[in-house]
Copies of this chain bind each other. A is one copy, B any other.
Amino acid sequence: MVEATVTLVEGMEFSGKAASGHTITMDANEQAGGRNAGSRPMELLLVAFGGCTGMDVISILRKKRQNVSGVEMNVRGEQRDDYPKTYKEVHVEYIVKGKGVQPEAVERAIQLSLDKYCSVGATIAGVGTITHSYRIVEE
């Protein structure tokens, strides 16, 4: 069971805390009556997706003994025009940095994450299409 409590601070600002104990501040932008004191909830979805698939990919690449020094995910999501404005399309670009990292290992790690392991990705994939790309940077 995963639990979280989210409390109104003021205006449109909310403070969230889940069982792991970390505080997440959320707020609307100025046009929506907020003050941008924290993240938009729909941004958190993409951040969570990047973290979720990033954890999968780095774990798998380490198991495959790839010499990885860095991983970055650039996530872009396009929302539907109509309410509830769920994500229609989400693209994630993986940038994997390291020495002699094998493209087939990266491809396989991404595939395993997106097709099998990543809970947040599977949730987004319930309402939209996820596409991906990757680049390997030698360093």
Residues of A within 8 A of B (CB): 1-8, 12, 14, 16-22, 24-26, 28-29, 32-33, 36, 38-52, 54-55, 58-59, 70-79, 83-87, 116-124, 126-127
Contacts and interface: CB of A to CB of B under 8 A. Distances in A.
A122 to B, nearest CB: 4
B42 A76 contact: no
Copies in the complex: 2
Contacts of A18: 39-40, 43-44, 46-47
6 contacts: A4-B50, A7-B72, A16-B51, A21-B36, A24-B51, A86-B119
Contacts of A17: 47
A12 B86 contact: no
